[in-house]
Amino acid sequence: MNELVLPNDTNTLHNLMGGRLLHWMDICSAIAAQKHAHAICVTAAVNNVAFNQPIKLGNLVTLQAKCVRAFNTSMEVYIEVWTQDLTKGNKIRCNEAFYTFVALNEEGQTVQVPHIEPLTDEERELYDNALLRRQQKLVESGKMKLKDAHELRKQFEKWMED
């Protein structure tokens, strides 16, 4: 998905406002989720948002989203954002985030989503880490006890050894 940063999208420093970028990221991620699920998808969570570089007035913003793991009725979508000064041609990766979506039917009831099979090393890493992020969210929200988050506990133990 591509967007052009116009004056109405910027703050007083002529940088893209973070809220506008999050809006575009939500739309792009929702498209990826709905294409995967073949269902209506709603945003359940946004986490690990990183604003690494400012995006300037007049720049092109390219958003690329892909589903990295499907659970029962939810899925995690990874999104990368690139900015490009069209007069100079330089393209910079400036933002990334993980969105969680839930698939719904026309009545608003959750529906199953198709499985995702990672094919590359990068896809495998995103796939494996999605489970850790999910367990962390569930523990933080009180929906899961830490003792039941086996993969998350194993990761913490691994970090403690290093």
Per-residue pLDDT tens digits for 97-122: 999 999 999 999 999 999 999 999 99
Q: Please tell me the predicted confidence (pLDDT) of residue 44.
A: 94
For residue 55, what are its two tokens?
């995006």
Sorted by where each starts, the structural domains of the chain and their CATH numbers stand as 2-114 (3.10.129.10), 117-162 (no CATH)
| Token pair of 59 as six digits | 């720049």
For the whole model, what pTM was predicted? 0.88
| CA atoms of 1 and 41, how far apart (whole Å) | 18
The pLDDT of residue 124:
96
49-103 tens-digit pLDDT: 888 899 999 999 999 999 999 999 999 999 999 999 999 989 999 999 999 999 9
**Rounded Cα distance, 53 and 64, in Å:** 17
